[in-house]
């Protein structure tokens, strides 16, 4: 790791000011950025630690929405009674991600801002039709936020402040893990509620995406059988030493069935 200056601002305004420097990067839980810096994939002049900023914290139910502060750690989301009551599939997802030590440090904001194609939360955000609220005061719908591999609608220096999830009637998630890295090979998040029926696929493609054929089928008939015959086109999916694009396409159907069963 190259050396860098370290700042720990106490307010969002202070953090945004420090991040006006194009050589500065935010750090939340550090579970992605520190391994990346060790590999010298980036050489920031400064890291701005977001952990002291109260505006980024807290999990609350606001009428029909679950609002999660960007600095909420996976462990907090997994064990939050508010999340467990409003969107149990999201709490389960947080508990199935990484390992105990990663969950003790890693945050939802860091994961969504990073948008790793094999990350879990992007599937929940897209599959629930979440709204991502930023330091620039923007409210970005999940359909516009995720822009392919490691790319999001965030501007340089713009921070994710909170994520608002419309509370669904039903939601479920299933994933096939890579047996070595334990990251997602292919996962599917399904929900039915105020945002209609949504099906989001992660791990399989260069970025999280919606599966319109499955959405239409579940709209007509909410059951695992309804998606069982729907095939995902492998064109454009990831193929690597862990699995071909055809294998991942097959997994989309299998995981979709399991996700519907998980939702109940």
Q: Give the binding site for ligand FAD (CB under 6 A).
A: 25-33, 50, 70, 97-98, 102, 106-107, 109-111, 113-114, 119-120, 154, 159-160, 182-183
Question: Which residue intervals of 39-120 are DSSP H helices?
Answer: 74-79, 81-86, 88-95, 100-105, 108-114
119 binds, among other proteins, ligand FAD, none (CB under 5 to 8 A by kind): ligand FAD
By CB under 8 A, which span of 29-37, 56-64, 227-235, 242-250 interacts with other proteins? Answer: 29-37
Nearer to other proteins, 14 or 164 (CB): 14
- Taking the CA atoms of residue 255, residue 256, residue 261 and residue 264 in that order, the dihedral angle to the nearest 10 degrees is 140
Question: What is the closest distance, in whole angstroms, from the C-beta atom of residue 172 to other proteins in the complex?
Answer: 20
**The only residue of 15, 19, 26, 31 in contact with other proteins, by rule CB under 8 A:** 31
Least Å distance between CB 15 and ligand FAD?
9
Q: Is 101 in the site for other proteins (CB under 8 A)?
A: yes
> Residue 40, interface with other proteins (CB under 8 A)?
no
End-to-end CA distance of the chain: 47
Residue 120 vs residues 27, 46, 98, 189: alpha-carbon distances, Å: 19, 28, 10, 9
Residues 86 and 163: their CA atoms lie apart, in Å, by 14
Q: Would you tell me the crossing angle of helices 245-263 and 88-95 to the nearest 10 degrees? A: 130
Q: Does 30 bind other proteins (CB under 8 A)?
A: yes
Residues at the contact surface with other proteins, assessed by CB under 8 A: 1-6, 8, 27, 30-31, 34-35, 37-38, 47, 49, 51, 75, 98-102, 104-105, 182
């Amino acid at each position: 790791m190259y050396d860098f200056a370290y700042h720990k601002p106490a307010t969002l305004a202070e953090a945004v000011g420090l991040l006006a420097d194009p050589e500065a990067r935010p750090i939340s839980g550090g579970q992605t950025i520190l391994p990346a810096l060790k590999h010298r994939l980036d050489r920031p002049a400064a890291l701005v630690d977001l952990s002291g900023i109260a505006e980024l914290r807290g999990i609350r139910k606001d009428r029909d929405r679950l609002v999660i502060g960007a600095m909420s750690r996976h462990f907090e989301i997994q064990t939050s009674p508010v999340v467990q009551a409003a969107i149990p599939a999201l709490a389960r997802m947080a508990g199935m991600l990484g390992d105990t030590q990663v969950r003790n440090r890693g945050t939802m904001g860091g994961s969504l801002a990073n948008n790793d194609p094999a990350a879990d939360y992007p599937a929940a955000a897209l599959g629930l039709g979440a709204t991502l609220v930023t330091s620039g005061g923007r409210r970005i719908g999940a359909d516009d936020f995720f822009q392919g591999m490691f790319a999001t609608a965030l501007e340089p220096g713009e921070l994710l402040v909170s994520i608002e999830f419309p509370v669904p009637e039903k939601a479920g998630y299933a994933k096939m893990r890579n047996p070595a890295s334990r990251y997602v090979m292919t996962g599917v998040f399904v929900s039915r509620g105020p945002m209609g029926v949504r099906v989001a696929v992660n791990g399989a493609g260069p970025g999280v995406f919606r599966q319109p054929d499955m959405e239409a089928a579940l709209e007509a008939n909410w059951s695992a059988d309804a998606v069982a015959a729907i095939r995902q086109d492998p064109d454009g999916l990831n193929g690597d030493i862990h699995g071909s694009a055809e294998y991942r396409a097959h997994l989309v159907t299998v995981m979709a069935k399991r996700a519907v069963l998980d939702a109940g």
